[in-house]
Structure 1
Amino acid sequence: MDFLFQRANCSGQQSAAKCSQRRLHGELDMHPCFRRLYAAIPDAAAVARTTSTPRSVRLRRLRIKKTKHPNLPVESDATPEGLTPDRARALQPLRGVREVVDDTGKAQEQVVGQKIYLPNIIIRLVRNHTPPGQPYNPYEATFRLPPSMTKTDLRSYLSAVYGVKTTAHKTYKRAVVGLVEPFYYPLAMEDMSAEEREQREDWLEQHFQIKEKAALTRIEMLRLQKGPVHKLGAPTSRADILHHLAERRAVRERAVEQAKVEMQTERQVERQVEEAAPTA
């Protein structure tokens, strides 16, 4: 079966002398008409590949797909197409296929649902850059993307989630996408009159408090940039801190002494009242 592993490379461009010379040396054992023109490998090659496969890999394949191809010979684990189980599983378009045993004990393939974790990214639609005096181009859309996102990811995202067909993609600090159908940016204040723009700004301020949030953000940024603010009169040096602690201790001791005097005075008054009371 050695001739199964030899390839005939005698093309029409080679001379007859070279072909005859190679036949004399035993390099061509098959006639060109009997060359294999299909992708499947012969059974002997499949058996040889299985034999050369590590034992741990073969055991794993048998454990994962024990009844995948029960009609195949024992010496080969190749599929009818000549692929290994791992390669056949990689080329399978349907993912999440598992063997599930029903109540009758019969194993059958079933598509089992799996959790899919989407990336935590933000894709922001912004208004197209329109130079002064030129009309808005509705056949383009501009997006702000994270640096890890590619053109293919953006095209797949727009097609799968929103069904938007795109024609071209340009990325430089922002992604400009060509659209098949026109799209106008909704409620663009650049295209409104002065009265409509004022009404729009009032509506946004009434519902979202944009100016108030901007003012609070500015105050917070100033506070963070300025750093911690010390209170006026607060001690800063070690001597001032010790002096401040001594003053607070003296005030506390005076308050305790005053409370003690008041309690003694009240007890004396109670004793005098008890002594002045007539005895029965």
Structure 2
Amino acid sequence: MQATFRRLYATLPDAAAVARTTSTPRAVRLRRLQKQKEAPGTGESDATPEGLTPSEYARYHRQLAKAELLRPDGTNPTEAEWLEKLNERRSRIRGVKKIVTPDGQTEAQVVAQKIFLPNILFRLVRNHTPPGQPYNPYEATFRIPQSVTKTDIRSYLSAVYGVKTTYIRTDNYLPASLLGGRVKGRAYKRAVVGLVDPFYYPLAVEDMETKEREAREQWLEENFQIEESTQKRKEILLRMTRKGSKDWRWRTGATAQRGNILKRIAEQRTARETIIAETKARLLEARSKGEAVV
């Protein structure tokens, strides 16, 4: 398994490399800009031909200068070999180790306790896309519990969904502080995950064409009863807020709002005037024929 992840990590698609450059934290981009004096353009990657990022390139040459990469035979690994070893460590899966079978084959063995129903939630949200730039399909953004680590994220996505990841960047969001020591919202952790295979987030209902939007709304209503749930929620709220009023009694949904009340009054008035007009016409017709008016 680790060999497979190492191969996929090393053969990073061009679009995925661009996504990795785009999602680099702002502080890291500013620090690199001070050294490079030129930032990569839109749709370009800052990686070397061997696939090293500027940070990896600097780390490799720093270890090379300190003779930390010197092998027993007196040689040093190349950039590609060093990156392959680094990606092997990055792509490790928690609870899984690589073993060699008696017939010489390498396979992954689970050494930890298996968890069949994890009690953590991964909420998939849209990627942050600046105005005027296309959506990046080689990244996925999740909202996860703050206790989840990067290794947990990689293991969870691989074991549950079979998703192959490249890089993972996380940041914690704290709730806004209000007056009086109160807070607004909840704290959460955001994880930006690099993907080997592209994933296109479904369009929002507001961004769809008319026919597609109507079909989606109909499907949502048939499967989740959104409008019915909204109406019931309004009725429950009305019961909770008005049941304490004096001489108040529950009425049907047709007369629960002022607009509906006026509409109902207008309908009753129209029906009454229609009956009066029909009765008047019948009486005039009977008198013209000399018939008795009952």
User: TM-score normalized by structure 1?
Assistant: 0.36
- Bigger radius of gyration among the two: 1
Structure scoring higher RCO (CA < 8 A, sep ≥ 6) equals: 2
TM-score by length of structure 2 reads: 0.34
